[in-house]
Structure 1
Amino acid sequence: MTEKFVLEMRGETSTISNFEELFDFRYNLSSLKILNLSELTELRVIWSAPIQVDYFENLYQLIVQDYRRLRYTFSPTIARNLPQLSRLGIYNCEELEQLIEKDQTPSQHHLQPICFPNLKQITIKRCENLKCLFPITLADGGLQKLEELTLSGVFKLEQVFEGDEGYVSKVEEKVIHLPQLGFLELDGIPNPVSFSPVGYHFVFQSLCSLEVTYCPNITTRFSVDSEKSVHARTQASQSVDEVNGETTFPIGSNMVWYKN
């Protein structure tokens, strides 16, 4: 089978026979809107060449599938320069461990935080070695338009949002809102997994559908308050403390909840 990917520029679709051609000057990549990458089975890195970050300023859909050896999806530089990205789908990338490569640059060298201001839909399925989705710092203000999040068959996932518990007060929770999130699905994660580190409290005030299935070792407690907002708090242990005015789902059980 020929390895290829398809890109769309201003409504026109092109098929490229090998990855290097993507950076050929024949293509006006500043107009690129849709990038579908599939069956490049031996490729380890997508953004492997020095490129201008404004090449992808209009990209709104990225689909990656059947990349057997891919280790990460974005370099930190690319992740900081995708202002229009709206849909992200990753499927069957068995060696993928993280979406954003660990930044090796000293923090004082980049003042711009990673942010996806228009990202609405994230779907990741059958990426069995994925360890986390995004750093917790990205969740805190960097995903304000996220509407749908689906993680399925990510067997080794440890945290949806990864972070250091040492940065959170031992007395007061760190509250993070995902104000537009309407659909959340976590499915088929057998290992110990949490939505966030201990000490973080996520609030989903717009959530209409919550499905947490076949995640027997999850350490995050989900609850619904009187205003029908959903809360996610990660427990230091399997003990469950009651929260006044909230209906709490048993940790580790299958949860299927729809807002009436």
Structure 2
Amino acid sequence: MLKELIVQECDVLLNIFPPFCLRVFQRLEKLIVTDCASLEEVFQLQVQGLDVEETYVVESRLRELNLIRLPKLEHVWTKYCKGNISFSSLKQVCIEECWGLKTLFPFSIAKDLQQLETLTIQNCGLEEIVSKNVEGSNEQEIWFAFNQLSILNLWDLPYLTCFYPGMHRTTWPALTKLIISECGRIKIFGHEESQIEHSLFLIDKVIPNCRRFYLAHVILR
């Protein structure tokens, strides 16, 4: 019945949830992990060649995820997740000072984030927000729908080059607050007719809905 878990200054931990533990913590709604010097992965879904996802079907109730000052974090979830583990209840995600993290969401996790309302990523080594889909990856265009996301904060991500490394479209109909600063490698706005695959937003789809913008040291076009 545990709903909130805080892990702080546990410098020996390599992961928070080893294989076969996801079902045990299926009712968990809030997870905060801070200042764990050796942590490499939060949700470990593969170990010694065994794919835990092959036998486990899990629907997590996790609503809030905060990961702060984890210098060796490489993956939040195992890099290549299949579709039978879902985190579709996530509403708030905050990642800060995780310079070893190169990608945040595996494709299978990102495509189900219909309830996500707030996404904050600050002071991280992120290169892409969603990793490449490796299952049946033909180069057809992929859609990501963030229908509830109202606040997006990207701050000091000097290596971020794209949202998703391939042809894709994103929808952000609820976005009202957009803060992007010190993200010098990513193209922020594109036009639908330009078909530029690595722009973060289509300008005509985002501008009409947003009430607050803050953009600094970014590539606008």
* TM-score normalised to structure 1 length: 0.66
In structure 1, distance between residues paired with 2:174 and 2:92 = 15
Q: 1:91 to 1:117 in 2, by over 3 A?
A: same
CA drift at 1:83: 2.2
Deviations along 1:206-232, one digit per CA (max 9) or x if unpaired, are 0111111100111453679xxxxxxxx
Provide the residue aligned with 1:195 in structure 2: 163
In structure 2, distance between residues paired with 1:34 and 1:95 = 24
Provide the residue aligned with 2:69 in structure 1: 92
Indicate whether 1:40 and 2:3 are aligned.
no
1:74-223 superposed matches below 5 A: 74-76=43-45, 77=52, 81-102=58-79, 112-140=83-111, 142-154=112-124, 156-164=125-133, 167-169=138-140, 173-221=141-189
Q: Equivalent residue of 2:23, what SS?
A: helix
Instruction: Look up the equivalent residue of 2:8 and give its one-letter code.
Output: S
The size of the alignment, in residue pairs, is: 200
Instruction: Look up the equivalent residue of 1:179 and give its one-letter code.
Output: N
In structure 1, distance between residues paired with 2:171 and 2:74 = 27
Q: 1:138 to 1:222 in 2, by over 3 A?
A: farther
Q: Is the 8 A contact 2:154 2:180 kept in 1?
A: yes
Q: Is the 8 A contact 1:57 1:81 kept in 2?
A: yes
Q: Is the 8 A contact 1:219 1:252 kept in 2?
A: no
Q: Is the 8 A contact 1:182 1:206 kept in 2?
A: yes
Deviations along 1:40-86, one digit per CA (max 9) or x if unpaired, are 012212234x6554321210000000011111110225996352100
CA drift at 1:137: 2.8
- Please say which structure displays the higher CA radius of gyration: 1
Q: Note the residue ranges of structure 1 that are not aligned, 5 or more in a row.
A: 1-30, 225-232, 237-241, 256-260
Provide the residue aligned with 2:25 in structure 1: 56
Q: Is the 8 A contact 2:181 2:216 kept in 1?
A: no
Q: 1:36 to 1:175 in 2, by over 3 A?
A: same
Q: Percent identity?
A: 27
Q: Is the 8 A contact 1:64 1:89 kept in 2?
A: yes
Taking CA–CA contacts closer than 8 Å with sequence separation of 6 or more, which of the two structures ends up with the larger relative contact order?
2
Q: 1:167 to 1:33 in 2, by over 3 A?
A: same
CA drift at 1:114: 2.8
Q: Is the 8 A contact 1:57 1:82 kept in 2?
A: yes
In structure 2, distance between residues paired with 1:43 and 1:73 = 10
Q: Is the 8 A contact 1:32 1:55 kept in 2?
A: no
* TM-score normalised to structure 2 length: 0.77
In structure 2, distance between residues paired with 1:73 and 1:65 = 12
- CA RMSD, Structure 1 to Structure 2 (Å): 3.3
Q: 1:251 to 1:234 in 2, by over 3 A?
A: farther
Q: 1:218 to 1:244 in 2, by over 3 A?
A: closer
In structure 1, distance between residues paired with 2:128 and 2:147 = 20
Q: Note the residue ranges of structure 2 that are not aligned, 5 or more in a row.
A: 46-51
Larger deviation, residues 131-140 vs 57-66: 131-140
User: Which structure dedicates a bigger proportion of its chain to strand?
Assistant: 2
